[in-house]
Amino acid sequence: MRRLLLFMLPILIIVTIVLVLFGILQVRSEETKLLDELKRKARAVAESMELSVRHALINNDQRSIARLVERFQKRERVQGCAIYDKDGNVLAITDRFLEWKKQDRPYIKDLLAGPKAVPRGSVEKFKQYAVYSYVFPVLDDEGKIVGLEEILYDTSYVFTQLEEIWKRLTIALLTLLMLIAGISLIVQRRIFTDPVERLTEWFKKFQKGDIDHEHPIKDKGELGKLASEVEQVALGLRVARKVVTEEAQVRMQKAELWTEAKLRDLVRAKLGENALFVVSNREPYLHMINEATGQARCVRPASGVVTAIDPILRACGGTWIAHGSANADKKFVNSRNKLGVPPEDNRYILKRVWLTKEEEDGYYYGFSNEGLWPLCHITHTRPLFRESDWHIYRKANKKFADSVLEELPSKNPFIFIQDYHFTLLPQMIKEKRPDATIALFWHIPWPNPEVFSICPYQAEILDGMLGCDLIGFHVQYHCNNFIDTANRFLECRVDTEKFSIVRGGKETFVRAFPISVDMNINSSAGREDSNNVEKIRKEYELEGKIVGLGIDRIDYTKGLAERMMAIDRFLEKYPEYRKKFVFIQIGAPSRTHIKRYHDLMGELDELAERINWKYKDDEWIPIIYLKRHFSPEELKPFYRLADLCIVSSLHDGMNLVAKEYIAAKNDLNGSLILSRFTGAARELTDAIEINPYSVEEFAASIKLAVDMPPPERKRRMENMRKIIAENNIYKWAGNIITEMTSLRKA
């Protein structure tokens, strides 16, 4: 509409100006015409009276003068006459113009005093009227003025006529303007808006993989040409996709180990033209303003979910819908809140969903991380369930549901939802799109039914989750807990053979899919990598030291305090390792708005400082605590140089740091100390297993790791690397997608 106005406004202005100018000229000419006519009439009247007036004036015959003037009384109302003597005094005047005598009439004197006695006409103001006065000098035989005749007309009718002309012109102008506006609107719709709308609609369908092959765009003209070009591109893409899908099916049958290419082939073979949508709270790429430079930069967050899902979408493409949480996020999206990522090499689409501060507080910090997170992790941190948080959590799930629904193509989409932030989302989507195949992966542990029963909203949460066709956990134990919980709190039927839950005629399968990493993630051994390792060794004075490493989000579930206390005990019990052992703890601050997390940061600072104070000398401190966010590239050399890595979670769904460390150690020279309360401990049986609550056992395990004979260390590392190479992130995704496609709705 704005564009149409911009287009029409100049035309309307020009037409108005032209018509007004035309009106002025027309009125002027009409006015001149009417006044000329009056002048002619007045002159004729004056001339017809001239002889009689002259005679009467020369003879000073007052009666004749009065009679001459009286003739005008009977004339039409508008006319009058006055006769003056040679000094300009009124001798007689028509009654209706009696007041005229009082009027200031300098032109009479001017005419009498002037060198030439010529008649003159002018429009004069008289009361509320405009009066046309025609003054005619009466001369004697010698040409001297003996008096004047003045013929008067009321000219109101002239102006009434002019007004009438203006009125007609205004009506004509308005009609013309309306006609122009109407025609422009119709023309604009026909040649621009309608075709563009049709083209947009077609593009939308094309984007969603829902092209109407039978009815191609048929617009003629420039837009039609554009549409036909687009159609050619679409056709090319369709054909290419088909070819790739078929090739993929052939290759699928050949490849052994899971790779990025094999997953890509699987997705193309299984999903075909059906699009993949991932939903998570944390976005894989954040745009943040760097406070020092004021420049925006792109950051990869410290998140196991992001670490796992990003390689999958890089491999297969698709759309990832997540909360746009960083302060410059809005600057980098298009009008549909989307952008291509990774920023330097767009492989898939990230759609950002905006939440208000209140929503972020209630849904993310409150219900998700103060309620569900501690509920599912048995770490003795009390879960907090506030009614207000629950309402906001529901609202936020609805917001994500709307955002997902508006992206879905019309047929059989695949939706892969991540984690405990979205327990209600599956049902919300399923209600609107029963044809969608929905899977939810629960990245954290699922507790037993007694623990879960603490949650006041247990039934709604379970119901929401059962909107899925598939629910995945890292380990079978969590699957069992979930089935037991649903069985205990919902009216449903558990099929123990198929491992599924049937509720209200709808079946949800529950499966274990142990998540993993890409084996190549940290393992390149190029010159640049070696240089980076050496740089770190120099910077932190690690030459000749045994280096231990921990990389974690600062979270009370990760057992960071227990780790530091075990290091303390290790140095206390085995003093020969003082000055020889250095532990680097990288801690990425996380959920710092929650008091428990804020307090934990303080506790860890104090603990590290106390231990360092206890043992340090001028050249050595035992714990190097690096409390900031690192980029994945920065983390790489730390993984590569560490002689041992400690993962001491009090409870952890899987733990990817353990697997990343193994992937990084292609020199096989490293030991992994791993908490038995992680999902990873079930697969990585060659790690040194610990109970992080037992400080003695923990300290002894550090001793075991540093003393381990190299061949034994190598053997264990080799075994663990084999397990991860076989069970990598692509296999995890491949298994989930295969399971999803087997459940695909017809």
Q: Which is nearer to ligand GDG, 307 or 741 (CB)?
A: 307
683 binds ligand GDG (CB under 6 A): no
- Nearest partner of 280 among 311, 303, 250, 299, judged by Cα: 303
C-beta of 285: minimal distance to ligand GDG in Å? 11
Q: Which is nearer to ligand GDG, 248 or 657 (CB)?
A: 657
Q: Please answer whether residues 184 and 3 qualify as being in contact, where contact means their C-beta atoms are separated by less than 8 angstroms.
A: no
Q: Please answer whether residues 82 and 150 qualify as being in contact, where contact means their C-beta atoms are separated by less than 8 angstroms.
A: yes
Q: Which is nearer to ligand GDG, 155 or 590 (CB)?
A: 590
Q: Specify the stretch interacting with ligand GDG by CB under 6 A; choose among 32-40, 204-212, 296-304, 689-697.
A: 296-304
Q: Please answer whether residues 671 and 713 qualify as being in contact, where contact means their C-beta atoms are separated by less than 8 angstroms.
A: yes
624-653 positions binding ligand GDG, by CB under 6 A: 629-632, 635, 652-653
Name 129's bridge partners.
Answer: 126
338 binds ligand GDG (CB under 6 A): no
Q: Please answer whether residues 445 and 485 qualify as being in contact, where contact means their C-beta atoms are separated by less than 8 angstroms.
A: no
Q: Which is nearer to ligand GDG, 600 or 635 (CB)?
A: 635
301-330 positions binding ligand GDG, by CB under 6 A: 302-305, 307-308
Q: Which is nearer to ligand GDG, 537 or 629 (CB)?
A: 629
Mask of contacts with ligand GDG, 167-206, x by CB under 6 A?
A: ----------------------------------------
Mask of contacts with ligand GDG, 408-447, x by CB under 6 A?
A: -----------------------------------xx---
39 binds ligand GDG (CB under 6 A): no
* Rounded Cα distance, 663 and 404, in Å: 34
Largest interatomic CA distance in the chain:
156
Q: Specify the stretch interacting with ligand GDG by CB under 6 A; choose among 142-150, 170-178, 573-581, 656-664.
A: 656-664
Q: Please answer whether residues 397 and 424 qualify as being in contact, where contact means their C-beta atoms are separated by less than 8 angstroms.
A: yes
Give the neighbor-by-neighbor strand order of the sheet with 493-495.
338-341, 348-353, 319-323, 276-280, 414-418, 437-441, 470-473, 506-512, 500-503, 493-495
576-615 positions binding ligand GDG, by CB under 6 A: 586, 588
Interface residue with ligand GDG, options 654, 662, 690, 737 (CB under 6 A)? 654
Q: Which is nearer to ligand GDG, 441 or 615 (CB)?
A: 441
Q: Which is nearer to ligand GDG, 137 or 374 (CB)?
A: 374
* Rounded Cα distance, 283 and 358, in Å: 19
Interface residue with ligand GDG, options 38, 91, 349, 515 (CB under 6 A)? 515
Interface residue with ligand GDG, options 262, 268, 300, 665 (CB under 6 A)? 300
Please, which contacts does 61-66 make with residues 24 or more away whose CB atoms are closer than 8 Å? 62/91, 62/92, 65/91, 65/92, 66/92
Q: In 3-state terms, what secondary structure has residue 353?
A: strand
Q: Which is nearer to ligand GDG, 408 or 690 (CB)?
A: 690
672 binds ligand GDG (CB under 6 A): no
518 binds ligand GDG (CB under 6 A): no
C-beta of 489: minimal distance to ligand GDG in Å? 24
Helix residue spans in 363-505 (DSSP H) = 373-376, 387-405, 425-432, 449-452, 458-465, 476-489
**Total site size for ligand GDG, rule CB under 6 A:** 26
C-beta of 671: minimal distance to ligand GDG in Å? 18
Mask of contacts with ligand GDG, 251-290, x by CB under 6 A?
A: ----------------------------------------
DSSP-derived letter for residue 420 is: G
Task: Report the 10 Å Cβ neighbour count for 403.
Answer: 17
Q: In 3-state terms, what secondary structure has residue 558?
A: helix
Please, which contacts does 458-462 make with residues 24 or more away whose CB atoms are closer than 8 Å? 458/485, 458/489, 459/489, 459/490, 460/424, 461/423, 461/424, 462/486, 462/489, 462/490
Residue 236, judged by CB atoms within 10 A of its CB (0-12, 13-18, 19+), counts as exposed
Sites of contact with ligand GDG (CB under 6 A): 300, 302-305, 307-308, 443-444, 515, 551, 553, 586, 588, 629-632, 635, 652-657, 660
